[in-house]
Structure 1
Amino acid sequence: MSTASETATFSGDDLNFDDFQLEDFDTPALSQPAAMPERDLSFFKKIPVTVTLEVASKEIALGDLMKAGEGSVIELDKLNGEPLDVKVNGSLMGHAEVVVVNDKYGLRLIDVVDSALAGVGQ
């Protein structure tokens, strides 16, 4: 009995690439993932949010605010005629100016912050 183990070896001459079908080789092995079905976002359109038009603000010490009384003036950080901040649930959405519509105040959007509504409705 022989205790020697046989080792299988091959050379490059043993490989025959003519047997492979490579006509589709240029197409990527992983194609684009299947498109996700478009989701119905109409549910989200019914969720109430709070829209706030912020005229201006000012950070002051509590002691100074406690000294303020009727007729006191607190200077704010915006200039006259400067666009006002529009916030949705406290986050900046864009800028607007005040308008009057049917004896009620309204706002006319001047610009919308790029990230404010990114992805909504797509």
Structure 2
Amino acid sequence: MDEEKRQNEQQPNPEEQVEAPKEEKQGSSEGGSEAKEQEISPDLSMEELEAISKGLEGLEDEGTATDIPDLESMGQDAQLSIDELIASVKASSNFDFTPGGQVPTKEQPKAQPASFPDISQGAQGFVPSAAVDEKIDLLMDIPVKITVVLGRTKKTIGDILAIEPGAVIELDRQVGEPVEITVNDRPIFKGEVVVIEENFGVRITEIVEKQGKK
């Protein structure tokens, strides 16, 4: 029994054997990290370290979002510029700007009834002046054509071509009916045919123009 105890004491504990490599591994890892730190962090001065830290701070500042402009202030600036433009236009022009976009209305002229002088009495007692008399005297010497129309009728071209000497054309006026007297082809008088020595003449019995005016 004593020998078995001795053998057991001499044999290492498996748990201790397992923990030992762990400690060795931890030691090796710590040693490796220190070596890496020595490789990454060489000997630097304080000024160099401060410069590196400032550069890192600048990178952090650049990564931040830019400031968003204030839309309300931008709208106010635009409105101010529009107001200044309108004021300059008003100052340089004579146009009357009214608020609300209303167009100024012009004052309507007052209507008054028209009055005309009464010319009915003056027309009755009108006497031509000397200048008017002179102009009328100039018209007195103008010659006009007087025609006595015994009667009228209508014929076709065939009837006209068939007329021969000795043919009789019947007119639309009866015997004893007044004949028509025209001045420049315009009917002015009516009268009767008379014989003056060896010539025909007309006795005026009616003035057509005056009847038309009445």
TM-score scaled by length of structure 1 = 0.62
Within-5 A mapping of 1:59-98: 59-98=154-193
Opposite residue 179 of structure 2, the aligned amino acid is L
DSSP-derived class of the 2:160 partner: helix
Output the CA distance in 1 between the equivalents of 2:204 and 2:175: 17
Number of equivalenced pairs: 90
Aligned mates of 2:127, 2:176 — CA distance in 1:
46
CA RMSD of aligned residues (A): 2.6
Bigger mean CA offset, 53-62 vs 33-42: 33-42
- Aligned AA (2:145): T
Q: Distance in 2 between matches of 1:116 and 1:93?
A: 10
**Contact conserved, 1:85 with 1:96, CA < 8 A, in 2?**
yes
* Structure 1 or 2: more helix by fraction: 2
CA shift, 1:43, in A, is 1.4
TM-score, length-normalised on structure 2? 0.37
Identity %: 29
Greater Rg, structure 1 or structure 2?
Answer: 2
Amino acid at match of 2:171: L
Query: CA-to-partner distance for each residue in 1:69-91, whole Å, 9 max, x for gaps?
Result: 11111111111111100000000
1:21-78 alpha-carbon deviations (Å, 9 max, x no partner): xxxxxxxx76457888721112111110001111111111011111111111111111
Structure 1: runs of 5 or more not aligned: 1-28
Choose between structure 1 and 2: higher strand proportion. 1
Cα distance change of structure 1 residues 31 and 58 upon mapping to structure 2, 3 Å threshold: closer
1:111 aligns with 2:202: no
**Contact 1:92–1:116 under 8 Å retained in 2:** no
Closer/same/farther in 2, CA of residues 64 and 30 from structure 1, 3 Å limit: closer
Q: RCO (CA 8 Å, sep 6+): is it higher in 1 or 2?
A: 1
